[in-house]
Amino acid sequence: MRDPATPGALLDWYDRHARDLPWRVPPAARAAGIVPDPYRVWLSEIMLQQTTVAAVRKYFLEFTRRWPTVADLAAAPDEAVMAAWAGLGYYARARNLLKCARVVADQHGGQFPSDHATLLGLPGVGRYTAAAIAAIAFDQPATVVDGNVERVMARLFDEHTPLPQAKPVLTALAETLTPQQRPGDYAQAVMDLGATLCTPRNPACGLCPWRRSCAAWANGTAAELPRKAPKKRKPTRQGIVYLARRVDGAWLLERRPDSGLLGGMLGWPGTDWAEEPSADAPPIRAEWKTLPAEARHTFTHFHLRLTVKTALVPMDRTPARGGFVETGEFDREDLPTVMRKAFDLARPR
């Protein structure tokens, strides 16, 4: 007979093995009365959506250096925040980040609300993020379920329903374990367990504090869980980007519409992205040369292949779209990743 899984066993493990993360208050410090900053909790959770801890760390440190409070972020220019976000991906998160910061600053006196329902009303805050803020920042017994937690629950209860259909089942199972005491530490403990021991491949079951409670370990099925429904094949879209450089070194750029992929970001003028090639529509009259290599990038739902065209234009040529950015004001790092790839193909060697 298996031992019942208890939050206490996991918390004892967490007290010894919690990851050192820049947005986290360690369990010993929390026990000493140091309270997490809801702003830092919220910022980290938004950044971590569909992104790894390793990728987020430097962005989080830079954001909190430049904008140490939610009021500072709310007052920041849109273009500065979008540029600082460049390379992190999923740019709708950056737009919602600003919207949320401004709502908190303007409507909540610069303080994040503590109740789950009000948190859900903030821009860009869904069920997971609201639960994470409520639990981690305010120590409320909210159930936090991310991919790590889903994996832990699927194995702990030997649940074979494939994802994403299993999400409601795994959430309900996670709710049965959420404690009234130290729910914030517990939420982080389950995520740490999934990230460090109960990993997708080769789980370290011998080190797991819940091993003797784990049905999948007992049944020898841990390595095959969680099950996932077959992925649909990603379509491939095509497009053209035009990299025009003026004879003084300035580059022709345009800001993309706020809605849609890469919304609000600076980028190269180009065509729509479609499964069939779009009509050639250069943003400025010039002798365009097509580079032999394509800029390729994969988004969540499709692969993208961009034909890169370059031209050198005289000082008196006026663009139909976008505007020239002087050499001293242009920074490759302000561009989203796919636009950097095009630039790297085109820039002078």
Q: Which of 192, 148, 187 is nearest to 21 (CA)?
A: 192
DSSP code, position 162: P
- Which of 45, 159, 254, 276 is flagged as catalytic? 45
329 catalytic? Reply is: no
- Cross-strand bridge partners of residue 255: 266
The token duo for 38 is 């809801």
Q: Are 42 and 133 in contact (CB under 8 A)?
A: yes
* Dihedral of alpha carbons 6, 152, 96, 43, sign: positive
How close are the terminal C-alpha atoms of the chain, in Å? 68
CB 294 within 8 A of CB 305: yes
In sign, the C-alpha dihedral spanning 8, 10, 13, 14 is negative
Please tell me what DSSP assigns to residue 209: T
In the block, residue with structure tokens 């159930």 = 143
Q: Which residues pair with 254 in a beta bridge?
A: 267
Neighbouring C-beta atoms of residue 258, cutoff 10 Å: 12
Which residue has tokens 């992190």?
Answer: 88
Taken in order 191, 192, 194, 200, is the CA torsion positive or negative?
A: positive
Residue closest to 47 by CA, chosen among 34, 36, 33, 62: 62
- Amino acid at residue number 104: V
339 has which bridge partners?
Answer: none
The residues carrying an active-site annotation are 45
